[in-house]
Amino acid sequence: MPHATIPRIPPLELDEMDPEQRKLAKLGADTVIQVLARAPEVLEASGKLGGFLLSQGKLHPRIRELAILRVALRCDAPYEWANHAPAALGGGATEAEITALSDPDASWPPEDDAVLRAVDELCADVFVSDETWTALAATRDHAEIIEILFLVGYYRMMAGFLNSAGVPVKPGQPALGEPPAPVARPERVSRPASGKTGPDGRWKITFVHPAGSKDLLLDLATDGAAVSGSIFDTQLKITVPIVSGTADGQEIAFTALVTDPVRFEVDVTGTVDGDAFTGSVTISGGGTFPLSGVREVSPSN
């Protein structure tokens, strides 16, 4: 399919955007947010549906992202693919599955095959056949099927916008049909030990995501088995409170609630080993990712 080879609408510079728009841009897909910011009412309205589909819907992140990637392929939308291939990997899809989306002879489990066939039919005929509908209904309820229809419609709309506006793929992002590059875990920093053993204190954490890593400051306090504290996002400059949590020796688990710029929960599990923290973070609707870090030690220690 044809698409613009040069940008037709220049992205709005970050310092020209309002604070909420800047926060959205820093969450990911920054270029598309910067272009849409030239029509702020459209950005706000479309963002509500997109945010719901990505973080509050019923579909598992893996099949949701595979469906979006299939839309990108059928609409020949390189930017859509480049931004969602890492999300598919983070949501539980494998590199082999991402590659197989381009293979017409690929074999899929029946429940996945039904969703991908529905994508193909909607993109080609704007209609889901009786056979495919029956296959969808065999494993999904009405709410999930409606969500699939809206998901495909939303990302077909976005593909048309992206291709027509000429929103460019950034260097280093995966090309249409290709999986994202493997993500390297950060190396552990060697430094003198603080002598502390428990989770209490401040931690410098790196959250590893296929679309790019993020540095966080984690403040933890325990009271018996209860955990409290907060997470500070050094990029977005927002503090997220821990709303519940438990500690059992060196093992810790807690939930934090993000409300700005969009609402979603993050669940963290980790292990403290002296001054080292390792674990994983699960983002509601977004998948599970590794994180690791070290205790922040004051100069006096």
| In contact, 294 and 199? CB cutoff 8 Å | no
Question: Which residues in the chain land under pLDDT 70?
Answer: 28, 183-192, 210-212, 285-286, 298-301
Clarify whether residues 36 and 153 are in a common domain. yes
What SS3 class is residue 97?
helix
Q: Facing residues of 205 across strands?
A: 216, 293
User: Among 13, 73, 33, which Cα is nearest to 161's?
Assistant: 33
In a domain, 61, yes or no: yes
pLDDT at 199: 93
The answer to whether residues 95 and 234 belong to one domain is no
**Residues 274, 154: one domain?**
no
Is residue 184 in some structural domain?
A: no
Which one of 117, 147, 165 terminates a domain? 165
Confidence at residue 82, expressed as pLDDT on a 0 to 100 scale? 93
**pLDDT at 282 (0 to 100):** 84
Going by DSSP bridges, is the β-strand pair 276-283/264-273 parallel, antiparallel, or unpaired? antiparallel
d(CA 11, CA 176): 22
In a domain, 79, yes or no: yes
Domain that holds residue 62: 14-165
Give the model's pLDDT for residue 300. Answer: 56
**Other C-beta atoms within 10 Å of 159: how many?**
25
Do 217 and 115 belong to one domain? no
Neighbours of 196 (CB within 10 A): 14
Same domain, 141 and 245: no
pLDDT for position 260? 77
Instruction: Verify that 113 and 216 share a domain, yes or no.
Output: no
Instruction: Give the model's pLDDT for residue 237.
Output: 84
What angle in degrees, to the nearest 10, is found between the helix axes of 61-74 and 142-165?
A: 40
- Tally of structural domains, the chain: 2
- Domain assignment present for 1: no
CATH number of the domain at 50, please.
1.20.1290.10
| pTM score | 0.82
